[in-house]
Amino acid sequence: MNITVLMGGASAERDVSIVSGLRIAAALRSRGHDVTSLDTAVGILDGEAERAFLEAGVQTAPPPLESLAELSRGSLSPSLGTLPAVLEADVVFLALHGGQGEDGTLQALFDLCGVRYTGTGQLGSALAMDKDLSKRLFRDAGVGTADWLMAPVTVADVEGRMGFPVIVKPSKQGSTVGLTLVRDPGGLAPAIAEAQRYDDEVMVEQFVSGRELTVGVLGNEALPIGEIIPRHELYDYECKYTKGMAVEEFPARLDPDTAAMVRDQALRAFRVLKLRGYARIDFRLSDSGGCFCLEANTLPGMTELSLIPQAAAAAGISFPDLCERIVHLATTDRGR
């Protein structure tokens, strides 16, 4: 097949996207596919550019906002629907993270252009990216989720609704970019200001202590549950993308009833958000046994350290097989 992998772009998750995309491209090439790597910020990547990006890898912090703004000014995104590498592909494999690549904007463009692409469609992508809307739908579907408020909020609002500590984060962002754990009232305003650097909407969410779990969904089936044990208190950007900064256990050590409950919650979340193809659903399992959905990721990371490839491996699915299954779902699932 002729496959174009879209990656990079100008979101705060650019580094993760490029490494994910290049790993996907290599896996698909190993299966005989004709693959083009396309960075939506700079264009088609040749072999030398691919090697340079792979050597650079994912840094311990997101790219500076200033450099992303510069990339955004020259981005190819407005013309993606006219590029031969996109229009002539049998499938476009979306390895973009965050921004317009994951919030439904690009999916809507491709739907209009008749371009076949991997993953969730426009509506599901938009719903999953907006954490406020996601959580409202979770509650309607019986999926547990922590209490929350949307900024602007005061200390009195937080103390009256849920108390401290809280998590402050951009409502439409991933990879814990702009996220802060706030333990006392004095930290609330600075944390909101930090989150506002990345998004115009900020969520203040009750902090749930306990075990961090993740469930990959492939097609309509849940992959083995994973548990993340980070070296930092939170599974932050550095822990996610720096080797040795977290331990991921697949499958997680859970009793059968708890495992069944978490899988059920993951599939409920997947369905209520109208997701398609594949996704990763993240949870906290509280010390009292409650299950709280944190978010759904419609274009999860596919780096060597990323979680859904580890979940697939635990199910006996190699990384090239995983990539081919995602492509197959894109060619057979017409319900987007």
Active-site residues, by number, are: 13, 175, 241, 280, 282, 295, 297, 301
CA distance 316 to 314: 5
Tokens of 262: 């978490």
CB-based contacts of 265: which residues, under 8 Å, 6+ apart?
A: 143, 144, 281, 283, 291, 293
CB-based contacts of 213: which residues, under 8 Å, 6+ apart?
A: 225, 226, 227, 228, 252, 262, 282, 283, 284, 285
**Contact present, 206 and 176 (Cβ < 8 Å):** no
Bridge-based pairing state of the strands 2-7 and 34-39: parallel
> Which of 290, 16, 20, 295 lies closest to 135, judged by CA?
295
> Which of 214, 119, 131 lies closest to 177, judged by CA?
131
Maximum distance among all alpha carbons in the chain? 60
CB-based contacts of 174: which residues, under 8 Å, 6+ apart?
A: 13, 97, 98, 102, 295, 297
